[in-house]
Amino acid sequence: MDFTFTPKQEAFRQEIRTFLRERLPDGGPGWNGENEFEFARTFLQKLAPKRWIAPVWPEEYGGLGLGLWEQVVFNEEMSYRGAPVTNLSAVGYLGPTIMMYGTEEQKRQHLPGITSGEVFWCQGYSEPEAGSDLASLQTRAVADGDDFIISGQKIWTSQAHYSDWIFLLARTDPDAPKHKGISYFLLDMKSPGITVRPLINMGNQAGFNEVFFDNVRVPRSGLLGELNRGWYMATATLDMERSSVAGSSGSRRSLEELTAFVRETKVNGRRLQDLPLVRNKLAELWIELNISKFLSYRVVTLQERGLMPNHEASIVKVFNSEYGQRLSRAGLHMLGLYGQLHPESPYARLRGRFERWYLISAAITIAAGTSEIQRNIIATRGLGLPRN
Distance of CA 10 to the CA centre of its chain: 25
Nearest alpha-carbon partner for 28 in 87, 76, 86, 84: 84
CA distances for 152 relative to 96, 123, 171, 259, 321, angstroms: 26, 15, 10, 48, 30
Strands 208-219 and 147-154: antiparallel
The H helix count followed by the E strand count for the chain is 12, 10
15 a catalytic residue: no
Q: Cβ distance 238 to 184 under 8 Å?
A: no
Cβ contacts of 88 within 8 Å, gap of 6 or more: none
Q: 269 — alpha (psi -120 to 50), left (phi > 0) or beta?
A: left
List 241, 288, 312, 355, catalytic entry: 241
Q: Cβ distance 143 to 185 under 8 Å?
A: no
Nearest alpha-carbon partner for 183 in 124, 130, 133, 226: 226
Nearest alpha-carbon partner for 14 in 73, 75, 71: 73
Q: Cβ distance 84 to 29 under 8 Å?
A: yes
- Give the Cα-Cα-Cα angle 148, 151, 155 (nearest 5 degrees): 125
Determine the residue type at 111. Answer: L
Q: How far apart are CA 181 and CA 228, in angstroms?
A: 4
Can you give 295-313 as a three-state secondary structure string? HHHHHHHHHHCCCCCCHHH
Q: Which active-site residues does the annotation give?
A: 241
